[in-house]
Structure 1
């Protein structure tokens, strides 16, 4: 199942100029983390009672886990739909997902006021079984552990542990099954968190009946898009052969997902009589129109088989869809948020730097690991 022969380590220099630049951002991040854990949230954030979900939750968790769904989306295609031709893409996708979910879970921990009580999340006597946030927290934690197991074959192959590798291969189907189920639960539950917020979410993004559907479909579409984006960047950055022949098939799947999303999204707004808000000319209406344009752009590009076969067009479509999914989540959780009471929020410089630093950690870690472990598809240099 692991198909070890399909992958190779790049075996290149790790400490390049981009890696050193990322290391500087990481050092700044570590300094801010020390300050946060010593002096508290108030020392580094602009969070308040009206905006308890700042950029760390909205970007690092809600958007970040959306960007990290590549391994989940590809696992459904490779192992559930049995499309083995996409198997060469699975390890890079799993690695990106592992970083995204790990940092997303850590960001939630950083954002907790009383972080020392985090263990209560798993104590039967302390948990609130009616809490959507509890379900998200448990599922994200469990899925991060699942990703570690799913990515383990690359580590076992690198350090030549054949017996353990064979044992993992034997039971990997169970891990994969759980790995497909868990993101389906917590990605849809992110939409349910908006339902719990009720009237505080602008009607353009508040749909009590369909929030889980919107969150789930956009997450899957973002998963395919991040695989396309990542593979394209690897091709350009490491001067490897193009994988457009594989990526165009994922682009076709995105067309169906976007079509289903946009039809239901606008149908819901029309039925609720809220579509007119999009043309009010205010900030929220304009942000909704930008979000919609970003969703429609990849649909227009990917509807054409000729454009799907173009690496450049695929890249544009993937970036547009990732921005669309990110903006949809930012609009729903922050820009379209009505806290009342005169509260306002704009992230502090340290909040922004910490979010940038987490991205730097992910990129630097990815660059190092693909050079040390067999992650990328094997290339026949001959």
Structure 2
């Protein structure tokens, strides 16, 4: 089976963009009400004309989610362990060019963060780090897993792309899943925003999910960062193709999808809205993915506003983060100047729980235990 990079390389961005924009209302209607939606249906659901059917998209997504997942919603927290980074990326607070104080958590500090997060009732943890192999490489990650697995039943990582061998070692030591976003599938825009560092290697990143699959890690989380390319509809179509490819090749893995939008960081000179996707368009995208992937988990982070999350959570969301701190030591220290980006929904766990209960949603703090998965 050829790699996804080979598939990506042989597809025309312009032709896909043209196909999306040529879709008609009849195409959209077929896509929404089709029992088995296909590639052409996804093009239709992502089309501009599909916005006219947003109420139907929402209704269909709600019905699918209710049928597949009931009223359950899972809560997780990200734990940032380092903001050291060798990459220069235009949109990130951790970028090497930014004159910020750098910090990585030592063993005692990781333990302290874990205890604090665990005291909030959290069972699922996402460990996040800037990309710096010298300071936060495989040995650091192994030590982190050793500490974290004493406190949490599911351990996910969002770190630099690794080799198959490195992923395999992490899996054997207790890692359950990896979240890794391509950021954008548009090669020109990717190079524009990733100026230097290992992350500039487009091929290494786009092939990483396959290396994760080869390592027998249980869960793979994908997504793009809306705001990097103005051709976001095509970007999301490539994300759809990528998931389809991975599910066929690594059918034993579980998958999740995230839909982050660029947010300003503490030292950002531009505090205004970034180029990208409107709230209504993002609703269209998320609902489209739910219709095409009824059983895949959809994540919604605190990058989004309270208003947006309140609307979308009962529609088709499975996992949410709560009161996230996007800097190392965020739950035990207050050092906002270390943050990666600004969050939009600042509600604490009790406030979120109160909202979820008002919507008759069942909060699931633990739905997986590593011991049962190995």
State TM-score, norm by structure 1.
0.28
The structure with higher relative contact order (CA 8 Å, sep 6+) is 1
State TM-score, norm by structure 2.
0.29
Which has the greater radius of gyration? 1
More helix by proportion, 1 or 2? 1
